[in-house]
Chains A and B, each alone.
Chain A
Amino acid sequence: QIQLVQSGPELKKPGESVKISCKASGYTFTDYAMHWVKQVPGKGLKWMGWINTYTGKPTYADDFKGRFVFSLEASASTANLQISNLKNEDTANVFCVRGYGFAYWGQGTLVTVSS
Chain B
Amino acid sequence: EIVLTQSPTTMAASPGEKVTITCRASSSVSYMHWFQQKSGTSPKPWIYDTSKLASGVPDRFSGSGSGTSYSLTISSMEAEDAATYYCLQRSSYPLTFGSGTKLEIK
Contact = CB atoms under 8 A, between A and B. Distances in A.
Interface of A: 35, 44-47, 49, 59, 61-62, 95, 101-103, 105-108
B102 to A, nearest CB: 10
Contacts of B65: none
B57 interface: no
A106 B42 contact: yes
Please list the 9 inter-chain residue pairs (A to B) with the smallest Cβ-Cβ separation, ordered nearest first: A105-B42, A47-B95, A45-B97, A61-B94, A44-B100, A103-B45, A44-B99, A45-B86, A108-B42
A37 B43 CA distance: 11
A106 B33 CA distance: 18
Given A45-B86, A102-B33, A95 B42 contact: yes
Interface in B72-105: 86, 88, 90, 93-100
Interface of B: 33, 35, 42-45, 48, 54, 86, 88, 90, 93-100
B41 to A, nearest CB: 8
A49 B42 CA distance: 18
30 contacts: A35-B95, A44-B86, A44-B97, A44-B99, A44-B100, A45-B43, A45-B86, A45-B97, A45-B100, A46-B97, A47-B94, A47-B95, A47-B96, A47-B97, A59-B93, A61-B94, A61-B95, A62-B94, A95-B42, A95-B43, A101-B45, A101-B48, A102-B35, A102-B45, A102-B88, A102-B90, A103-B45, A103-B54, A105-B43, A105-B44
Nearest to B1: A62
B53 to A, nearest CB: 12
Contacts of B42: 95, 105-108
B87 to A, nearest CB: 10
A101 B35 CA distance: 11
A62 B1 CA distance: 10
A108 B40 CA distance: 10
